[in-house]
Structure 1
Amino acid sequence: MKFNFYTHSLISDWNHGNAHFLRGVMRDLVRRGHQALALEPDDSWSRANLIAEQGPVAIERFRETFPDLGFQIYGADFNHEAAIDDADVVIVHEWTEPALVERIGQARRDGGRFTLLFHDTHHRAVSAEGDIAGLRLDNYDGVLAFGETLRQRYLKTGWGKRVYTWHEAADDTLFRPRPEIARTGDLIWIGNWGDDERSAEILEFLVRPVKVLGLDAAVRGVRYPEHALEALSEAGIEYGGWIANAEAPLAFARHRVTVHIPRRPYVENLPGIPTIRVFEALACGIPLISAPWNDAENLFRPGHDYLVAHDGEEMARQLSEVLSDADLSDALVASGLETIRSRHTCRHRVDELLSVLAECGTRRVVEKLAAKEAAE
């Protein structure tokens, strides 16, 4: 089948975590013999920032790293109806411009034979409800929400006909243990500063524990204001700026432990939704200690797949224990890898997507799925 994905950016993962998951899903679809194309706007904020910071070479690196991924950059005069006319499945991400969200829905209403899904991977349904409420989703066949609490939000408000939970996951062909790489540092955190959604938490669960323990630590990410950079420097934390997501497995491999610091809107309003870095870190076989969040959907086994620190002091104590106890570290790694490999890879999510399509897909899609199943 032919899949078209409307996204903010496939090319750039500069402060754009959804690119991680989309790349993994598209790669798995291609491996299964499907066609997959990402369509992104010519004014993508993430791509513009990536090029401004890294130069055009960043785009060439993406092409070299992911030669199997196809993309199309569209402008104001792009013929979207022609682009999706021969598609079997069209998936529109929630950062797509509202007018285009509606336009694609109208194409489906006006005879489009493709199955049309809306994909939400953010907290705007809670934090900026008006943005989502204003979207015209009545012509969409279904909604993919990246957590059960978000799915319930859509159902409660009547947004969309059918709503399915579709969590993010790790591309384990890329995110995997690299035991041949020597560990040269104690701790690494890969995360962006963002919009002050976890500023206090970064200080409590990362900066202060590292300073107290005197760890050899590094931070990678973007949008760190001057006062944040000063805090990292005072704690002896090396700040390395942006890192391409494809290079994150190597960064994890060079360190002995990492942390998870969830954004406040998810902790307070959307329990059960971790960032994709949890899936990716565990897939790389690095011990993880998390600030508090409610794993409401039992995605993981807290205390086995990772440890939970309820405050900065507990974080410091647990970091010290993991770094000094090889048996504890090895047990966390083994448990985390087991959970990822059994439940949370992009292969699992593609299986789930195909199940969704079998339920809400157009006749053309359902027939193609049945034919492929019969052939296997």
Structure 2
Amino acid sequence: MKIILFYHSLLSDWNHGNAHFLRGVVTELLERGNEVVVYEPQNNWSLSNLLKDHGEQGLADFSAYYPLLKTSFYDPATINLEAVLAGADLVIVHEWNEHALVKAIGELRTKKDFRLLFHDTHHRAVTERSSMAQYDLSHYDGVLAFGNVIRDIYLQEGWAQKAWTWHEAADTRIFHPLVEKAYEGDLVWVGNWGDDERTKELFEFLINPVKELGLKATIYGVRYPDHALKALADAGITYGGWLPNYKAPEVFAKYRFTVHVPRRPYVEALPGIPTIRPFEALACGIPLISAPWEDAEGLFTPGEDFLVANNGEEMKTQMQQLLTDHDLVRRQTVHGLQTIQDRHTCAHRVDQLYAICQELQVGNLAAEQTTILTMDERP
């Protein structure tokens, strides 16, 4: 298949979590013999911030970790969509695109013989519903939504005629267990501060327990305001700044455990959507403790894949367990890793995408290889 993708950024994961999943899916599609072209706007927000903070060095290792991946930049004011989409079998447009571009690609769908999908990986369908309702999807063949709640909104609101749940997953070419000779600390957390969507939760489930237990901890991420940096220093937590996502497995291997602190919109309005961080942590075989969220879609087995702490006191207790109970650590690590390998890799998601393509009669899929390779079978 010839697949054209319009996304915010393939190159930059600076406060842009969708890049994690996009990289894994594109790599999988390429390795299955597809022609894939990714378009991202020139001077996009994520890449501009990455270059501002780290210069070209921020991109220095990208090709070493993703040798198959390339991006194509475009100017929204001058892009020739007729030429770009010539010969395409499948076009996917991510929700972090301008309304005008989304509409223009949809209008071309009426003149060309490709199938067109809209991909939503954010909570804006709930938190910014009026903005999302302004996307003209009338000529789209359907929506890929990263959770049932989002999928149902598109159908109930009449924004789309068809919608499928397409969860994010771990890119196990990058995210897999690494062996470290000795730990450098107890806890590591990789996540951005964001827009105060989980400030209270970060204190209750991360900063305060670390401080009270006197753990050796490091936090990586961006957009940390001064008061947050002060709180980390007061808790004795090392702040590591931006961490390229593809280096997270190397960091996970140096610490005993990590935690998941979901943002409030996902906890309150989007049950069943954990975001990509737990998938990646479990794929690396690092023990995980999660703050509360409802696994409404049965993605995991809470208590076996990871521990769940309902409040700060439970978080402290479970942190101490992971530091001392080696049998618990082993069982949880094995179970969580197996869950990822059995159900939640980018290969699984591409299989799901192929099934959707077959339903929509996209191109000639008869000769496509849809077998999910195990980690041992991968090159």
Structure 2: 5+ residue stretches without partners: 371-379
1:144–1:163 Cα contact (<8 Å) kept: yes
1:81–1:104 Cα contact (<8 Å) kept: no
- The equivalent residue for 2:219 is 219
| Structure 2 residue identity aligned to 1:33 | G
Offset from partner CA, 1:160-212 (integer Å, 9 cap, x none): 12100000000011100002453221000000000000010000000000001
TM-score normalised over the length of structure 1 = 0.96
Q: 2-side partners of 1:181 and 1:263: how far apart?
A: 34
Instruction: State percent identity of aligned pairs.
Output: 56
- Quick one: structure 1 residues 336 and 38, their matched pair in 2 at CA, closer, same or farther if it must change by over 3 Å? same
Q: 2-side partners of 1:17 and 1:133: how far apart?
A: 23
Offset from partner CA, 1:81-109 (integer Å, 9 cap, x none): 21111111110000011100000001101
| Structure 1 residue identity aligned to 2:66 | F
Confirm or deny that 1:134 pairs with 2:130.
no
Offset from partner CA, 1:105-145 (integer Å, 9 cap, x none): 01101x21111100000000000001110000010011000
- The equivalent residue for 2:305 is 305
Q: 2-side partners of 1:274 and 1:258: how far apart?
A: 15
Confirm or deny that 1:90 pairs with 2:91.
yes
Q: 2-side partners of 1:181 and 1:172: how far apart?
A: 22
- The equivalent residue for 2:82 is 81
| Structure 2 residue identity aligned to 1:317 | T
| Structure 1 residue identity aligned to 2:21 | F
| Structure 2 residue identity aligned to 1:80 | L
Q: Deviation above 4 Å: which 4+ runs of structure 1?
A: none
| Structure 1 residue identity aligned to 2:103 | E
| Structure 2 residue identity aligned to 1:215 | L
Q: 2-side partners of 1:177 and 1:325: how far apart?
A: 20
1:37–1:69 Cα contact (<8 Å) kept: no
1:116–1:140 Cα contact (<8 Å) kept: yes
2:290–2:308 Cα contact (<8 Å) kept: yes
2:180–2:254 Cα contact (<8 Å) kept: no
2:32–2:368 Cα contact (<8 Å) kept: no
- The equivalent residue for 2:374 is none
Offset from partner CA, 1:44-93 (integer Å, 9 cap, x none): 10000000001022234323332201210001212122111111111000
CA drift of 1:312 comes to 0.5
The equivalences for 1:24-39 within 5 A come to: 24-39=24-39
The equivalences for 1:202-217 within 5 A come to: 202-217=202-217
The equivalences for 1:1-376 within 5 A come to: 1-75=1-75, 76-109=77-110, 111-362=111-362, 365=363, 368-372=364-368
| Structure 1 residue identity aligned to 2:87 | D
Give the length in aligned residue pairs.
369
| Structure 2 residue identity aligned to 1:167 | H
Q: 2-side partners of 1:143 and 1:361: how far apart?
A: 16
Q: 2-side partners of 1:53 and 1:181: how far apart?
A: 32
Offset from partner CA, 1:1-41 (integer Å, 9 cap, x none): 11111000000000000000000000011111111111000
CA drift of 1:293 comes to 0.1
| Structure 2 residue identity aligned to 1:3 | I
2:3–2:37 Cα contact (<8 Å) kept: yes
TM-score normalised over the length of structure 2 = 0.95
2:32–2:369 Cα contact (<8 Å) kept: no
Q: 2-side partners of 1:250 and 1:26: how far apart?
A: 22
Structure 1: 5+ residue stretches without partners: none
Report the 3-state secondary structure (helix = DSSP H, G, I; strand = E; otherwise coil) of the residue aligned with 2:365.
helix
Report the structure, 1 or 2, having the larger helix content. Answer: 1
